[in-house]
């Protein structure tokens, strides 16, 4: 990572313009009109990537120092794909009050905030408070980037298998940051509450269980009527779709065989999916993973570059469900008309992917 100026500083005149006394005039202008900051400084194209390292990739709690190279990698991708300048910030304190205060203290320098690899349920508290207390958009990629990528892939998978969202039964394994956000976005995309079931390590979420706040919300808004009970395996019986955002090795081919005909299986745990892809493919019509060495890689990198490009370009103050739905539709459409069971999402290198998402997000921002 490095900082490179966009202007040349080759002699005394350049120094006077871009340092003293020139910057004093800019400071006065900002003091008189704060909107100058977004138009004419680095803030207009800058994102803070904030992580405490408590839920790092598939490694778990590795701490803030270990998070730094991961956040640098994400910053590199934002620059490569969307020309967004991003800065890794890895606070030591994990208390929600401290994390919120740290981000708020630094927010003047940034046009958007990307929360990353912060463990649930703390991530929900931090995100919601920052959304309420900042005037720049806050995007928790583990939640919303995953949900957008999953919804886009699912839209195309449903087309290939002749299904409509309202008639599709979905079982989600994982009730943390990703699973919760996937469920919420599906409910906003015409999937019916009684046909969406969320499972955690204790089995199906339902209102009869003693649950934490986020899981309690899921129990109240999914599995309406409590028709699904028991284990993850029980919930999969005759289900159309399985979405795994939990842990590897939870299922085997026999579990997939119990699903509906032409089933759709997204085993997104990394590096080991919830079910072996080859075993799943013996019984499912479409199989996707989070791995780059297999077909249908569903990964957040498909989403966050275009998402932040759109947020920054539109000057949006917050991330809305409408923006997420618009981004998912743009991502799904980028595949084109020639998609098939092994190509339900585009490559991250696909021409037009980032502009399409950015335009979709910006259009939705105008409606907010």
Instruction: Tell me the C-alpha to C-alpha distance, in Å, between residue 175 and each of 144, 226, 264.
Output: 14, 17, 20
Place of tokens 């780059």: 292
What tokens does 181 get? 């956000």
What Rg, from alpha-carbon coordinates, does the chain have?
22
Whether the CB-CB separation of 53 and 63 falls below 8 Å is answered with yes
Going by their DSSP bridges, the two strands 138-140 and 170-173 should be labelled as unpaired
ω before 143 within 30° of 0 (cis)?
no
- Of residues 19, 28, 79, 366, which has the active-site annotation? 19
Residue 135 in 3-state DSSP?
Answer: coil
Residue 324 in 3-state DSSP?
Answer: helix
CB atoms within 10 A of CB 8: 8
Closest to 185 in 3D by CA, of 85, 319, 308:
319
Distance CA 303, CA 321 (A): 14
Is 19 a residue of the active site?
yes
Place of tokens 């405490």: 52
What tokens does 50 get? 């904030």
Is 74 a residue of the active site?
yes
Whether the CB-CB separation of 358 and 334 falls below 8 Å is answered with no
Beta bridge partners of 49: 88, 114
Whether the CB-CB separation of 96 and 129 falls below 8 Å is answered with yes
Distance CA 219, CA 321 (A): 20
Query: What ranges make up the beta strands (E) of the chain?
Result: 46-50, 85-89, 112-115, 138-140, 170-173, 196-200, 203-204, 241-244, 263-267, 284-289
- Of residues 74, 79, 159, 366, which has the active-site annotation? 74
- Catalogue the active-site residues: 19, 74
């Amino acid at each position: 990572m490095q900082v490179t100026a966009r202007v040349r500083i080759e002699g005394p005149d350049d120094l006077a313009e871009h340092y003293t006394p020139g910057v004093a005039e800019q400071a006065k202008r900002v003091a008189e009109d704060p909107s100058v900051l977004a138009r004419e400084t680095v803030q207009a194209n800058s994102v803070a990537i904030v992580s405490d390292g408590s839920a790092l990739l598939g490694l778990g709690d590795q701490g803030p120092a270990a998070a730094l190279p991961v956040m640098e990698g994400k910053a590199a991708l934002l620059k490569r794909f969307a020309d967004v300048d991003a800065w890794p910030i890895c606070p030591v304190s994990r208390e929600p009050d401290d994390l919120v205060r740290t981000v708020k203290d630094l927010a003047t320098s940034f046009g958007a905030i990307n929360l990353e690899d912060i463990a649930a349920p703390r991530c929900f508290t931090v995100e919601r408070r920052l959304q309420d207390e900042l005037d720049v958009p806050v995007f928790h990629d583990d939640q919303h980037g995953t949900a957008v990528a999953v919804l886009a892939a699912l839209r195309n998978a449903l087309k290939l298998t002749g299904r409509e969202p309202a008639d599709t039964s979905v079982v989600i394994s994982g009730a943390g940051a990703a699973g919760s956000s996937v469920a919420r976005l599906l409910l906003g995309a015409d999937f019916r509450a009684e046909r969406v079931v969320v499972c955690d390590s204790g089995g199906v979420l339902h209102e009869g269980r003693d649950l934490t706040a986020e899981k309690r919300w899921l129990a109240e808004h999914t599995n309406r009527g409590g028709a699904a009970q028991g284990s993850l395996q029980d919930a999969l019986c005759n289900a159309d779709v399985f979405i795994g955002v939990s842990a590897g090795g939870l299922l085997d081919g026999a579990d997939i065989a119990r699903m509906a005909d032409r089933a759709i299986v997204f085993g997104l745990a990394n590096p080991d999916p919830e079910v072996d892809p080859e075993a799943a493919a013996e019984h499912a019509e479409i199989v996707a993973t989070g791995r780059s060495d297999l077909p249908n890689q569903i990964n957040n990198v498909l989403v966050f570059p275009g998402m932040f490009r759109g947020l920054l370009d539109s000057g949006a103050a917050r991330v809305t469900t409408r923006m997420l739905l618009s981004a998912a539709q743009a991502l799904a459409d980028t595949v084109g008309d020639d998609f098939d069971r092994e190509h339900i999402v585009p490559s991250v290198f696909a021409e037009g992917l980032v502009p399409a998402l950015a335009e979709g997000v910006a259009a939705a921002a105008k409606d907010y």
